[in-house]
C-alpha cells in the first residue's frame, strides 16, 4: 500500500513540474506571438508607406517587394507560434 502512495506521489510531483514547464513555455510563446504581431504590423505599415511613394522607381519597388516578403514571413511565424500556444493551452486544460 505504501508503494502505491509513493508511486502516486511521484506521478503528481512529475505532473506538477511538467505543468510549471508548460506554463513558462506558454508565457514565452505568448510574448513571441505579441512580438511577431508587432513586427508584422510595422512591416505592413512600411509596405503601405512604400506603396504611397512613387512606385515606379526601381529602388522603391525592391523595397516594397522586400517588405511584402517580410510580412509574409512574419505572418507565417505568427501562425506557427499561435498553433504552439494553442497546443500548450490544450495540454494545460487537460491537466485539470
The range of the structural domain enclosing residue 21 comes to 2-94
**Percent helix / strand / coil, the chain, rounded to 5:** 90, 0, 10
Mean per-residue pLDDT for 59-88? 83
Nearest-angstrom CA–CA distance, 69 and 83: 21
**Can you give the pLDDT at residue 63?**
77
Element (H, E) at 84: helix 58-94
Angstrom CA distances, 23 to 1, 29, 87, 95, stand at 33, 10, 12, 12
**Can you give the pLDDT at residue 27?**
87
CB 68 within 8 A of CB 47: yes
For 14-67, how does the pLDDT look when each residue is reduced to its tens digit (9 = 90+)?
888 888 888 888 888 888 888 888 888 888 887 777 766 654 567 777 877 888
20-24: Cβ within 8 A, 24+ apart: 22/88, 22/91, 22/92, 23/92
For residue 96, pLDDT over 60 is answered with no
pLDDT band at 1 (very low <50, low <70, confident <90, very high): low
C-alpha cell at 11: 506521478
Q: Please tell me the total count of domains within the chain.
A: 1
CB 92 within 8 A of CB 23: yes
**Can you give the pLDDT at residue 71?**
86
**Can you give the pLDDT at residue 14?**
83
Amino acid at each position: 500500500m505504501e508503494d502505491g502512495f509513493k508511486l502516486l506521489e511521484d506521478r503528481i510531483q512529475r505532473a506538477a513540474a511538467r505543468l510549471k514547464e508548460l506554463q513558462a513555455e506558454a508565457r514565452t510563446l505568448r510574448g513571441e506571438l505579441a512580438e511577431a504581431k508587432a513586427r508584422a504590423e510595422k512591416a505592413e505599415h512600411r509596405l503601405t508607406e512604400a506603396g504611397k511613394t512613387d512606385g515606379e522607381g526601381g529602388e522603391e519597388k525592391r523595397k516594397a517587394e522586400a517588405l511584402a516578403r517580410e510580412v509574409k514571413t512574419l505572418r507565417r511565424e505568427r501562425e506557427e507560434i499561435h498553433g504552439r500556444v494553442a497546443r500548450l493551452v490544450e495540454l494545460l486544460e487537460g491537466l485539470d
